[in-house]
Amino acid sequence: MSACRTYFDLENGAEPFATAIRRLADADAAGIASVQVAASIASENQPGGSELNDFGVFRKRLAAVGMGHLELCLPLLMTDMGFWDEALWGGPGDTELLGSIHEALHPGVPASFADFCSENGIDPSQGVGAAARKWHNATCDVLALHSHIKVGRDVFVSNDKNFRTGQRLPKLIQLGAGRIEGSIGAAELLPT
């Protein structure tokens, strides 16, 4: 399983999601399941709208909510978004897969930062900031699912319903996502 953005639910005590996420992390610790955390969520817009500039802070936050033992599912490196030591270089087919995931998940958001800026009157020289949050979050979603697919995980876990809405789900499964579940659905897959 790959868990995406679920630690935000734990940090905020968002029930019933937090209980399900704890079950997943505990199942990993007990050797019942293999759960990874999508490292791209460190690049997401953080609670309160801040940006994270130190990956060590992300690791501490994971540890504080009982997820520090989970392996990270590393994303492709994107400048101005990722962390050099916590990302992978792209390879054959990655650009096409990223584009296909983006088109399935966020068809109304340009995949290119330059195109997004052009369409929204944003100066791209200012970098990825508050004005580009929509593009930033869409790209983090794409990176999280891409890393899940590339390492061959079987269940992608996110409480973001966008992954399971309308025609997105069958398209993402066709791209190799396997199952996509919210944290409660993923916890229900665990043996009792």
d(CA 161, CA 129): 24
Are 144 and 4 in contact, with CB atoms under 8 Å apart?
yes
* 9-60 pLDDT tens trace: 555 556 678 888 889 999 999 999 999 988 888 777 666 666 777 888 888 9
For residue 122, count other CB atoms closer than 10 A to its CB.
17
Comparing 52-66, 70-84, 162-176, the range with the smallest average pLDDT is 70-84
What pLDDT sits at residue 3? Answer: 55
Is the pTM higher than 0.75? The answer reads yes
Are 94 and 146 in contact, with CB atoms under 8 Å apart?
yes
Share of the chain above pLDDT 90, in %: 42
pLDDT confidence band for 7 (50 / 70 / 90): very low
SS3 per-residue string spanning the chain: CEEECHHHHHHCCCCCHHHHHHHHHHHHHCCCCCCEEEHHHHHCCCHHHCCCCCHHHHHHHHHHCCCCCCEEECCECCCCCCCHHHCECCCCCHHHHHHHHHHHHCCCCCCCHHHHHHHHCCCHHHCCCHHHHHHHHHHHHHHHHHHHHHCCCCEEEECCHHHHCCCHHHHHHHHHHCEEECHHHHHHCCCC
* 122-161 pLDDT tens trace: 888 877 666 788 888 899 899 999 999 998 889 999 988 8
What pLDDT sits at residue 89? Answer: 85
